[in-house]
A = this chain, B = another copy of it.
């Protein structure tokens, strides 16, 4: 049913290489015949086969992306950045989901390689350090770029937010407001970005001469539920904190919910600062003060790196994007 260049060549009694040239706007074909060919192709409903083309060109114009969770608003925005950038370069993206499981991630990468994607972007890689090392050690393999590398060791190519700086500005903001008893609700332990943000938090406190209380550092997860639970623990403390810096915005959302359910109000009783600046954060009640990550830019940058890698151009191993504080209503001066 599908019409191929041979069909249209036959219909015009010419060789199919000429058809191929005409369709690719090669100058090596008379303008007139090109016209005719293109017209006939259109009327015959010809659709070039990207798979046949890929087989010979050894390029699929496709980027694989592996994400731990599609429904995370932060990742979704990063993916949007990737998709837009990819499209602008004529690339499509194959989206796969690792559900945060290293085995799935590796399986996904394998599958993408079988599909001969030109490059792979890992959004928050979850595989172990060793397996990542293996991924990058293979020579001449599909280029891989990791967004928000979750491990301490720097491996391969990555683009990430300056989490340390983010942790610093968030904490400094709270200090500037007069808070002294400031808590940190972390992400999952496995996430290195949470550790970095926490380091920024600790450093900033220390620099201000505020004693760092380990009881004020509580683990959450990537969901509101984690923030909710953590906040309950914090409120049960003999001396609860007056301000809280959260791993991310949804953690902050959960924390605020817990505060309300405990009869506390934000920011009157307790100030909250998030991280990410997801699109809904400005509409939370109260609108959330947060540290914005350059989500779209991260996606763009990652695509650029992959493409540069593919083109054999020199690429910096690590691209760090600054974050910036966005002050809204969830934080106020300590009274």
Interface residues of A (CB under 8 A from B): 1, 45, 47-52, 54-55, 60, 62, 70-71, 73, 76-77, 79-80, 83-84, 87, 92-97, 110-116, 138-140, 224, 228, 250, 253-254, 256-257, 260, 279-280, 282-287
Contact = CB atoms under 8 A, between A and B. Distances in A.
A96 B224 CA distance: 29
A45 B287 CA distance: 53
B140 A47 contact: no
Contacts of A256: 283, 285
Nearest to A60: B51
B47 A110 contact: yes
A6 to B, nearest CB: 14
Contacts of A114: 47-50
A224 B70 contact: no
Contacts of A285: 256-257, 260, 284-285
A195 B71 CA distance: 27
Contact of A71 (B62, B95, B111, B279): B279
A191 B260 CA distance: 36
Given A94-B92, A280-B250, A115 B83 contact: no
Contact of A254 (B50, B73, B283): B283
Task: Indicate how many identical chains form the complex.
Answer: 2
A280 B253 contact: yes
Contacts of A55: 49, 51-52, 55
A56 to B, nearest CB: 10
A94 to B, nearest CB: 5
Contact of A95 (B54, B83, B140): B83
A49 to B, nearest CB: 6
A84 B97 contact: yes
A138 to B, nearest CB: 8
Contacts of A260: 285-286
A93 B92 contact: no
Nearest to A92: B94
A303 to B, nearest CB: 14
A59 to B, nearest CB: 10
